[in-house]
């Protein structure tokens, strides 16, 4: 997914504020769910929510106002009711790595209790259907393998 750094997302260091990467992760989640045919609004209509219980980001280089970036997202560990998603933000057009990170979500029902992730959702989130980068340099693989 591609987007442009907004002016409102910058800070007085003249770079994109670190919190905005988590917003970009969230935008990528929204588009991932839409792309696998299960938009988040549909998940909510079924009475579920997927609160975020963990967020991590490691910053490699800054993005600046009006930079175009690519946000890759792919599924990591999928547990009984929890789901880890992985992210990589690169700067276009060259692909310079800006940020890698992950978030962990729990599927809860209307009663606020964790629910088993349905098999069809698990399947659609499997690595082959998500955007996991295929060309990875050893260093970047390892930085993702053991974050943080």
Q: Which is nearer to its own copies, 18 or 136 (CB)?
A: 18
Which one of the listed residues 11, 67, 119, 120 is annotated catalytic?
Answer: 11
The 3-state DSSP class for residue 136 equals: coil
The reply to whether 67 belongs to the active site is: no
- Interface residues with its own copies (CB under 8 A) are 4, 6-8, 10-15, 17-20, 22-23, 26-27, 30, 39-41, 49, 51-59, 62, 64-66, 104, 147-148
Q: Which is nearer to its own copies, 103 or 130 (CB)?
A: 103
End-to-end CA distance of the chain: 24
**Taking the complex as a whole, how short is the minimal distance between the CB of residue 128 and its own copies, in angstroms?**
26
Residue 122's Cβ-side half-sphere holds a number of Cα atoms within 13 Å equal to 11
Burial level of 17, CB count in 10 A (0-12/13-18/19+)? middle
Catalytic residue numbers, as ranges = 11
């Amino acid at each position: 997914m591609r987007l442009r750094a907004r002016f409102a997302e910058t800070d007085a260091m003249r770079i994109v504020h670190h919190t905005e990467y988590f917003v970009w992760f969230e935008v990528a989640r929204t588009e991932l769910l839409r792309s696998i045919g299960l938009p988040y609004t549909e998940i909510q209509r079924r009475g579920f929510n997927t609160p975020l219980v963990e967020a991590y980001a490691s910053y490699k280089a800054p993005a600046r106002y009006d930079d175009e970036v690519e946000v890759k997202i792919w599924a990591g560990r999928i547990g009984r009711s929890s789901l880890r998603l992985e992210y990589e933000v690169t700067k276009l057009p060259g692909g310079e790595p800006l940020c890698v990170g992950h978030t962990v979500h729990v599927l809860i029902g209307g009663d606020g209790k964790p629910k088993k992730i349905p098999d069809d959702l698990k399947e659609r989130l499997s690595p082959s259907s998500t955007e996991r980068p295929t060309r990875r340099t050893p260093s970047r693989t390892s930085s993702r393998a053991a974050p943080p």
